[in-house]
Amino acid sequence: MAEPIVRVVGVHKFFTRGSEQIDVLNDLNLEVAPGEFLGLMGPSGSGKTTLLNLIAGLDKPSQGEVWVGNQLISAMSESQLTRWRTRNIGFIFQFYHLLPVLTAYENVELPLLLLPMSAAERRRQVTTALELVGLEDRMKHRPGQLSGGQQQRVGIARAIVTDPTLIVADEPTGDLDARSAEEILDLLSELHQTLHKTIILVTHDPRAARRAQRLVHLEKGQLVEDGRPAAAVADGSGRPGTSGAITEVPPR
Amino acid sequence: MKLLLLVFKNLLRNKLRSALTVLAVIVLVAIFSLIATVLLTMERAMRERARDVPVVLSERYRFPSRFDRRFVEDIVSPGTAVHTQLRYLPGFNREHHTIWHFIGFTTDPERKDKNKQFFVIATYPEKIPAMFDELDQLDPVLLEKMKRPPKSGLDNSGILMGPDRMERLGLRVGDVFKAISISHFEGVTRQPIEMQLEIVGTLPAGSRWVQHTFMDYAYLDRVLKEKKSEMDGKIMLGWLKFDDSDSAGKGSAVIETHISDIKSEIASTAISRFLEPYKNLFNGVKYLLVPAIWLVMTLIVANAISITVRERTTEMAVLKVLGFRPPQILALVLGEAVLLGTLGGLFGAGGTYFLVNHVIGGINFPIGFFPIFFVPAHALWWGPALGALTSVLGGIIPAWSARSVRVSEVFARVA
């Protein structure tokens, strides 16, 4: 087995509301292999997004460690994390979150403005990213002039433009109609297969889950199932099969 | 550069709000500029100098002042009692003196159109550069032309006019015209005195002399004598210039001892005395109104930026996710505030400068020595600077809250 690119070790995360402590993640362990397409499923409030935020360096665990590559990101300061995210994380949001005043091209270019590179280099990378998502003819359009599916493509281009170590997607099809959702999932699968990107996808959508190589299921802040997605989708429960296959990085 | 573009585009997102904020800053900077113009001009005039101290001579018992020219001649003529004492003061130089005789004119034959009126200071041309600020670089050729104007050929009829005054009167350098007095009359017929004047040059643009006019006293003296005017031999003010303030003080005491009808004061002291009754008013304006205007400006900017930050909390979080560091987000938000404030300041101060100096012809606020005020040229930089500074102050709290956005909390709310 290859050295995991993501290691979540004994993570505990709680929030406090007044004097009340709300446990979101309990003693959670997870490993993700390089180039893996991992689906994270679970009911609302199960801690999926919190786990995703911890892996993406948007939040810190109350206890435990989060490693990405060979870096212990849970020990990084806020500003170290911000710098780290620029190069290592591509984030795809459910509601796209493009800046409405910028064109598709400018939205994709935004993360590159923080990196030391020439304008020509930046132009080349933005153009490549937009070509990869099939929007080279929409570069000058603003988000308001694009469909939901197209906006999400721009969001994906923005996520991959820095060639990050890890792509994390939080319900990327949650705001799309069925057809657009399929297109986005096709695109993610393609990125995974052709560029061998490591993708972690949080979803409620069985169609999205079907695209993942491996599904993990969270419930009440704990990893309850970890396995191949086929059975999960087949029984419509959104859960992986109950074969007991709590493993294990899938074949590459 | 690209980030600056983002700042600019964000401002265009809500054009009405941005425009209203800029407008508010424009209005407040304009009011501020007007007040500052008056206060700064007066404060500068009241500030006592250490070197090259001007002393003003006026009639002690009458306002407006009017006295015999011979008093000044006595002061600077060797052999007189007063000069004998003054000459031992180390900072006294008899060459450093001049006289002012004010005369009002109009170019309107009907003498009705106020826009055609102008006041002239009749003085010794050769003394102008040495005696007055901002005129020390005046071309000596122009002073010579005042005595021998090239077109009219009438000796001593050349005048130097400020560019703004010239524009207002619709005159140009080289114009020869008839000026009818509105203040001086012939002694026998009581008809207004008429003089032929030729504009031989302009006073420096951007200086406090842009509305003033100088003529050669020799010409006025000749005409007043010829017309048997009661103003013959009279002047309104005399000026001396001492090397230091100590000599100026001692010299004034000597003059007042020898010539009891004359009040001799360091110019800044004379101006301060004139302004004494207005002191409370000025202090109120300076210490209450000006800070209040500034506070209102700050609050307007703070309010506008707060709204824009609140509306875009999710965007701030997205920028953080993309790798923007808190100081960069702070700079983006402050950039928007500063751009708004600077634009408002630029238009506010620039507009006031143009309107007051070139359209209205000065702020008509007659106090003491200041019949009219002009917005100084440096308002063109301190207006934008004030707008920018105010915006930084107004924008700092909203910008700080933008930089402190917690990404996980924002997206938890969004979801």
Rounded to two decimals, the ipTM of the complex is 0.83
The residues that bridge with A222 in the sheet, in sequence order, are: A219
Is the alpha carbon torsion for B181, B186, B191, B196 positive or negative?
A: negative
Going by C-beta distance under 8 Å and a sequence separation of 6 or more, which residues neighbour residue B293?
Answer: B28, B31, B32, B35
Q: Is the pLDDT of residue A109 over 60?
A: yes
- Is residue A179 very low, low, confident or very high in pLDDT (cuts 50, 70, 90)? confident
Which candidate in A16, A17, A54, A93 is best for mutational testing of the B interface (most B CBs within 10 A)?
A: A93
Question: How wide is the angle at C-alpha B240 spanned by C-alphas B236 and B243, nearest 5°?
Answer: 160
pLDDT on residue A239? 44
CB contact, 8 Å: A58 with chain B? yes
| Inter-chain residue contact B326 with A83, CB threshold 8 Å | no
B 251-270 residues with CB < 8 A to A: none
- Interface contacts (A, B; CB < 8 Å): 68
Residue numbers of A between 161 and 200 with CB closer than 8 Å to B: 170-171
User: How close, in Å, is residue A245 to chain B by CA atoms?
Assistant: 31
Report the range of poorest mean pLDDT among A149-163, A183-197, B78-92, B371-385. B371-385
Query: For residue B137, how far is the Cα from the chain centroid?
Result: 19
Contacts of B324 in chain A (CB under 8 A): 82, 114
Average pLDDT over residues A213-227: 86
| Closest by Cβ to B3, choosing from A56, A101, A113 | A113
Contacts of A110 in chain B (CB under 8 A): 319, 322
Place of tokens 């292999």: A33
Find the closest chain A residue to B318 by CA distance: A97
Q: Is the pLDDT of residue A51 over 70?
A: yes
**pLDDT, tens digit, for every residue of A66-96?**
999 889 999 999 888 888 998 899 999 988 8
| Apex A117 CA angle, A115 and A121, nearest 5 | 125
Q: Does B325 touch chain A (CB under 8 A)?
A: yes
Contact A103, A142 (CB under 8 A): yes
pLDDT at A226: 72
pLDDT number for residue A208 = 85
In the predicted model, is pLDDT for residue B368 greater than 70?
A: no
Contact between B322 and A158 using a beta-carbon 8 Å cutoff: yes
From A90's Cα to the closest Cα of chain B, the distance in A is 8
Residues of chain B in contact with residue A164, where contact means CB-CB under 8 angstroms, are none
Q: Could you say which of B13, B408, B414 has the minimum Cβ distance to residue A58?
A: B408
Mean pLDDT of the residues in chain B: 88
CB-CB under 8 Å, A114 with B318: no
pLDDT at residue B269 in the model: 76
- Residue A21's pLDDT band, with cuts at 50, 70 and 90, is confident
**Band of residue B297 on the pLDDT scale cut at 50, 70, 90:** confident
> Which residues in chain B have Cβ-Cβ distances shorter than 8 Å to A140?
none
Confidence of residue A98 (pLDDT cuts 50, 70, 90): very high
A1: distance to nearest CA of chain B, Å? 31
pLDDT at residue number B413: 58
Q: Give contacts of A 102-131 with B, CB under 8 A.
A: 102, 106, 109-111, 113-114
Nearest to B13 among A101, A106, A114 (CB): A101
Q: B328 CB near a chain A CB, below 8 Å?
A: yes
**Among B190-204, B244-258, B355-369, the least confident range:** B355-369
Gap from A62 CA to chain B (nearest CA, Å)? 14
Question: Which of residues B323 and B200 earns the better pLDDT score?
Answer: B200
User: Residue B216: pLDDT band by 50, 70, 90 thresholds?
Assistant: very high
